[in-house]
């Protein structure tokens, strides 16, 4: 009996060792197969000419530009749970701007039956404060692109774990990439007052749309600007249900270089602080096949003629 037990005892470690070796070989084989069969990662080396021409001019569909945007600019949607301040911040509803209430009220009706839509929100701040698209994303399973040039705000945006692509660039006011001076509005925030701080940062703008008086005393930096068309082409997106532009004066310059025929943009939310130019803006967009749905001082909502939303009545 003792001899049998001894034989069994000595056999067990040998069996375990044999299984361990077999498992190790299987794992190594799997890894090797993966390495040999996966698609090679595209080169992240860019030509010297391209890097110079990022300052402009460069075609908005340049293959190297689209490759650069896909690899260096676009951040993918988060798979993590939302990390939102929400109703826990007592300031959220107390200081909600009139513009945000205006857009929320009308867009909730315009898109009341639209699920799984696609948006672009430029001037997205932290992805929550003053966001026009967050509710559609959370409640109606929308996704899209969030664009924010301010680095502090963009860091906040990424921390919110939005389910949309994001890009830390400004939208070019030319039909090609450019590097522009950007005026930063600095703010100090705490956990409780971060909404106020982001609202202050929302006034940051490209210097060419700013009052140049006293510019030497302000904080500014060079930023990369890219055509909206380039970002959409890099994402392979041609239909946008909702485009939100809040760019502190750059909105119409961006729109004028956006192909509204090649891209199907159904609804446009546009802030234009020179609201005394309303008739000019309305006529310009009507000439490009859009109809004004509703306006409140500096805030406009347009719909593409022939879209499901052109007959909306408040």
For the chain, the structural domain boundaries read 1-38, 48-304
DSSP per position, 234-294 = HHT--EEEEEEE--TT-HHHHHHTS-TTTSEEEEEEEE-S-GGGHHHHHHHHHTTTEEEEE
> Running DSSP on this structure, what letter comes out for residue 55?
T
Quick count: other Cβ atoms within 10 Å of Cβ 2?
6
Q: How far is CA 49 from the centre of its chain?
A: 27
Whether residue 57 is preceded by a cis peptide bond, meaning omega within 30 degrees of 0, is yes
pLDDT at 21: 64
- C-alpha span between 164 and 119 (Å, rounded): 9
Encode burial over 275-284: b for 16+ CB neighbours within 10 A, e otherwise. Answer: eeeeeebbee
- Nearest Cα neighbor of 240 from 142, 139, 134 is 142
Please report which helix (H) or strand (E) contains residue 121, including its range.
strand 118-122
Q: How far is CA 118 from the centre of its chain?
A: 11
Q: Which residues pair with 300 in a beta bridge?
A: 270, 295
Cβ neighbourhood burial of 254 (10 Å; 0-12, 13-18, 19+): buried
Contacts of 95 (CB under 8 A, 6+ apart): 195, 196, 199
Q: What tens-digit pLDDT sequence spans the chain (314 residues)?
A: 444 334 434 444 566 656 556 655 554 555 444 444 444 444 468 998 998 889 888 999 999 999 999 999 999 999 999 999 875 554 455 546 688 889 999 999 999 999 999 999 999 988 988 899 999 999 999 999 999 998 888 998 999 999 999 999 999 999 999 988 877 665 545 444 455 444 444 444 455 556 655 555 557 778 899 999 999 999 999 999 999 998 878 889 999 999 999 999 999 999 887 878 899 999 999 999 999 999 999 899 999 999 999 999 98
pLDDT at 86: 73
pLDDT at 32: 44
CATH 3.40.50 fits 48-304, yes or no: yes
Phi, psi of 51 (to 5 degrees): -65, -35
């Amino acid at each position: 009996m003792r001899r049998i037990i001894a034989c069994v005892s000595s056999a067990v470690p040998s069996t375990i060792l044999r299984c361990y070796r077999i498992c190790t070989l299987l794992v190594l084989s799997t890894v090797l197969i993966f390495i040999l069969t996966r698609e090679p990662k595209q080169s992240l080396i860019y030509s010297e000419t391209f890097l110079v021409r990022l300052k402009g001019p460069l075609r908005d569909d340049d293959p190297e530009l689209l490759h650069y945007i896909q690899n260096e600019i676009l951040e993918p949607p988060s798979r993590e749970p939302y990390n939102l301040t929400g109703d826990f911040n007592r300031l959220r509803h107390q200081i909600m701007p009139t513009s945000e209430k205006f857009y929320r009220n009308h867009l909730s009706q315009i898109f009341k039956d639209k699920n799984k839509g696609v948006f672009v929100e430029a001037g997205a701040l932290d992805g929550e404060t003053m966001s026009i698209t967050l509710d559609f994303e959370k409640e109606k399973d929308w996704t899209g692109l969030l664009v924010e040039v301010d680095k502090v705000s963009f860091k906040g945006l990424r921390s919110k774990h939005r389910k949309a692509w994001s890009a830390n660039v400004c939208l070019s006011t030319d039909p090609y990439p450019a590097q522009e001076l950007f005026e930063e509005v600095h703010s100090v925030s705490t956990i409780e007052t971060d909404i106020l701080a982001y609202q202050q940062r929302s006034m940051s703008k490209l210097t060419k749309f700013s009052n140049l008086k006293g510019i030497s005393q302000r904080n500014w930096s060079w930023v990369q600007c890219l055509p909206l068309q380039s970002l959409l082409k890099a994402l392979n997106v041609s239909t946008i249900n909702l485009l939100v532009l809040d760019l502190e004066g750059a909105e119409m310059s961006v729109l004028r270089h956006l192909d509204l025929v090649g891209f199907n943009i159904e609804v446009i939310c546009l802030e234009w602080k020179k609201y005394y130019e309303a008739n000019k803006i309305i006529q310009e967009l009507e000439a490009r096949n859009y109809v004004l749905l509703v306006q409140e001082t500096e805030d406009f909502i347009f719909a593409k003629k022939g879209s499901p939303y052109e007959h909306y009545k408040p």
